[in-house]
Amino acid sequence: MKLKEFEAKELFRRVDIPVSKGILISNKNDIPPFSEERLLKVQTLAGGRGKAGGVCVVRDAGEAGKLAARFLNSQFMGEQITEVLLDEKVEIAKELYLGILFDTSKRLPVFIYSEVGGADIEELKRRDPTKIKLREIIYHHGLVEDDCSFLLKNSSLSPKVQQQVKDVLKKLYTCFTRFDCTMLEINPLVVTPAGEVVAVDAVAVLDDDAKFRREVTFPERTHNRPATPRETAAHLIDKDDYRGVAGKTFVDLEGDIAILTSGGGASMTLLDALVDYGGKPANFTEYSGNPPLEKVEKLTRIVLDRKNLSGLLVAGVIANFTNIAETLRGVLNVLIAVRPNFPIVIRRAGPHDDEARVMLLEAKEKYGLDIHYYDEKIPLTQAAKIMVELSAAYRNRKKKDVNKIIRSKNTSQSKNTSKSKNTSQKGVN
């Protein structure tokens, strides 16, 4: 279960991580008077809300009320918005990134730390991986002093701030284990000009199988609308199979370009780029953590179980643990079975990607699939642009073929009508 920002911050408060002070608003009339700048933040499960205009600076209650009225009970990024957070605007001297992700292949948590916060961590990893530090945590040891020292080695922060960050690292790990999380993220952890640290945003994903012992409960994530049959089917893929993740996040959308992405931040970048270039996604879903072939195959079948698709985009960041050939074999098995005639754009890189390239290009020739394969040499945004262009060309060809069939049918009907008239006239004579 993924939590909204205000819910994740509640977990942080329970382990004494300092968070920005905010008021949850579900009715515009509940906004109290204020005179200093604050942030109005849409509470959504989707990532990338800032780029989509879901975080706004407001200067007084009147301005906040107008924005709240616009967001509340309306659709934002495919979700019905029921709350906004009126948050304090924290003065920023520096932004840090702290995160913990459960690695399903090694079955242990990995701490992620960077002194470049506020940015897409996946994009930062691609652009400058030296800015990110990773540390595997051994469960029976927990987060020990050596782990903290490793993450903060060569830090540019003052000793006072380093001590506070170390304290937040320990408390974040406590939060991770105490509440059965599979992922936690603070981005950014702000260092103020006064040298204090404050978590101004929070992301948390909880292990659904630990729900029976959860000390803090949250509403089910289906309250905004009933799940579609495809969403329900996708969410069942991970049930009782902990090898990687496939379909845990799945949202049906109204477009015609099917999507299979990998990498949390990169997934939203890809979706944003697709929309910016004029494409219309048919769904949003992810697979990651090196899922087995059969799980990717199940997810691909669900993704392609949609009428009138004009393309399939399979893309993600450079993988560290995921076997590119194995996971793309799962995609390919479905493509061979379905034999779509629309274009397929694949942008993947990582372990066994050369093997994947050979496999896909051979299948392209053997089965007549319109596959376009790219590696990390092109950006994710460029892959999205190529997909949109190929999709548009496919729709145009399809439209011309339909018009040609209609003209041929009309011509045939016209000839039959003319022949019928001539036969009738002969009968009269």
Check whether residue 256 and residue 369 sit in a common domain.
yes
Give the number of domains in the chain. 3
222 CB burial (10 A radius; 0-12, 13-18, 19+)? exposed
Check whether residue 331 and residue 241 sit in a common domain.
yes
Check whether residue 180 and residue 286 sit in a common domain.
no
Check whether residue 383 and residue 265 sit in a common domain.
yes
Per-residue confidence (pLDDT) for residue 327, from 0 to 100: 95
Residue 246 is assigned to a structural domain of this protein: yes
Check whether residue 365 and residue 233 sit in a common domain.
yes
3-class SS letters over 43-75 = CCCCCCCCCCCCEEEECCHHHHHHHHHHHCCCE
3-state SS assignment for residue 171: helix
Structural domain span for residue 69: 21-88
Residue 99 is assigned to a structural domain of this protein: yes
CATH classification of the domain holding 28: 3.30.1490.20
Check whether residue 103 and residue 200 sit in a common domain.
yes
Per-residue confidence (pLDDT) for residue 223, from 0 to 100: 47
Length of the chain as a residue count? 429
Domain-ending residue, one of 49, 69, 88: 88
pLDDT in tens, 83-108: 999 999 999 999 999 999 998 878 89
What is the Cα–Cα distance from 331 to 300, expressed in whole angstroms?
A: 6
What is the Cα–Cα distance from 312 to 385, expressed in whole angstroms?
A: 13
CATH classification of the domain holding 172: 3.30.470.20
**Chain-centre distance for alpha carbon 141:** 32
| Torsion sign over Cα 172, 178, 179, 182 | positive
Residue 183 contacts by C-beta under 8 Å, 6 or more apart in sequence? 99, 100, 101, 102, 203, 204, 205
Check whether residue 112 and residue 49 sit in a common domain.
no
- CA neighbours within 13 Å on the CB side: how many for 352? 13
Domain-ending residue, one of 183, 210, 237: 210
Check whether residue 84 and residue 142 sit in a common domain.
no
Amino acid at 342: F
Check whether residue 171 and residue 62 sit in a common domain.
no
Domain-ending residue, one of 210, 242, 267: 210
What rounded mean pLDDT belongs to the chain?
Answer: 89
- Residues of the chain where predicted confidence (pLDDT) is lower than 70: 119-120, 122, 220-226, 264-265, 406, 408-429
pLDDT in tens, 296-317: 999 999 999 999 999 999 999 8
Residue among 196, 129, 136, 210 nearest 161 (CA): 196
Check whether residue 203 and residue 78 sit in a common domain.
no
Dihedral (Cα; 349, 355, 356, 360), 10-degree rounding: 140
